[in-house]
Amino acid sequence: MALVLKEADVAQLLTMPDAIAALDTVFRQQHPTTGEQQALNRPRHRLQPPGAILHFMTAAAPGLGVYGFKAYTVARPGVARFVVMLFSTEDGRLLAMIEADTLGQMRTGAASGLATRSMARLDAAVVGIVGSGWQARSQVQAICAVRQVREIRAAGRDPGRLRRFCEEMSAKVDVPVTPVESAEAAVRHADIVVTATTAKEPIVLGDWLKPGTHLNVMGSNWANRREVDEQVIKRSDLIVIDSKEQGMLEAGDLLVPIQQGMLSWDRVHELHEVISGALPGRRGSEEITLFKSLGLALEDIAVAARVYTLARERGIGEELAFLS
């Protein structure tokens, strides 16, 4: 019997520490030394009929006993719907159908949390975030789960939404989240910088960064969009991405500097290298480090597997005789 899990079920079951732990496990399994249990990810594909986009992403995590896909649609004026289909690697049966808006938000935050845990300075305590939407919330939660944050400065285009974001997140993470008037005000003097926007052109400049900063650049997964300028890339001592294969298709923040001859893919490393310990996430307190997050099917599948396990343990969800 397959399990149907709705948004409310996911929100009830999934915590940020759970999501971070699930990604830690699967990225370790993605490293080549894991042999037969090596996790596999395939890049996002997009189908764009008039007025809508269908996104499709697949991955396998044999070490977790699952494989599957996420599909989501975006139709004008921006309404998105997400589903993860989770299958057993043992016999191919359908394990779960999971509504995946909250799941995707949490896994994206968890990826930044995992990168921050390995790449930010241990004493990083001031966070600057640009963006105050749905994805920004899990970014704040994840960073506060891995560092002793004492202050968060947030910038956003809509003053009302920014104010509500700051009030909500201050209460949620028990850290002061203060609205500021500009991206520059959020970024200058921050130890950890997050971009969580829909910007098409850079909204964070390299001249604003102090030595030792760690950046999570996660708002864009389109080849013609970027959130940080060339100077950010030039000043970054270590650049890490969740998937080079996917990045070559949609990481505008890196593709533009590469096209300009300022960067090569040889300088870009994958997150599993850092998580497995094959590559140091930071070599010194003055280094600027950057994690470019695109959002992988592998992350969705790993977190979905954790949600499925918790649902079975707690008797949550609706059983359905389908593809059993």
Look up the pTM and report it: 0.95
Output the pLDDT for position 34. Answer: 56
Q: Prior bond to 211 cis, omega within 30? A: no
Output the pLDDT for position 321. Answer: 85
pLDDT in tens, 247-266: 999 999 999 999 999 999 99
Which ranges in 174-283 belong to alpha helices (H)? 183-187, 230-235, 244-250, 252-259, 271-275
pLDDT in tens, 174-212: 999 999 999 999 999 999 999 999 999 999 999 999 999
Confidence of residue 7 (pLDDT cuts 50, 70, 90): very high
For all residues of the chain together, what is the average pLDDT? 96
As separate numbers, helices (DSSP H) first and strands (DSSP E) second, the chain gives 11, 15
Output the pLDDT for position 310. Answer: 98
Output the pLDDT for position 58. Answer: 98
Output the pLDDT for position 76. Answer: 74
- How far apart are alpha carbons 195 and 232 in whole angstroms? 12
pLDDT in tens, 143-155: 999 999 999 999 9
Q: Which residues contact 171 (CB under 8 A, 6 or more apart)?
A: none
Residues 273-277 have a mean pLDDT of 95
Sign (positive/negative) of CA torsion 289, 293, 296, 302? Answer: positive
255 burial type by CB count under 10 A (0-12 exposed, 13-18 middle, 19+ buried): buried
> Residue type for 271, please?
L
pLDDT in tens, 74-124: 987 778 999 999 999 999 999 999 999 999 999 999 999 999 999 999 999
pLDDT in tens, 220-230: 999 999 999 99
- How far apart are alpha carbons 85 and 116 in whole angstroms? 29
Query: Helices 16-30 and 297-314: crossing angle, nearest 10°?
Result: 130
How far, rounded to the nearest angstrom, does the alpha carbon of residue 310 sit from its chain's CA centroid? 22
pLDDT in tens, 123-141: 999 999 999 999 999 999 9
Q: Which residues contact 260 (CB under 8 A, 6 or more apart)?
A: 230
Could you tell me the two tokens for 97? Answer: 């159908």
Output the pLDDT for position 36. Answer: 54
Complete domains list, the chain, with CATH: 2-104+298-320 (3.30.1780.10), 121-295 (3.40.50.720)
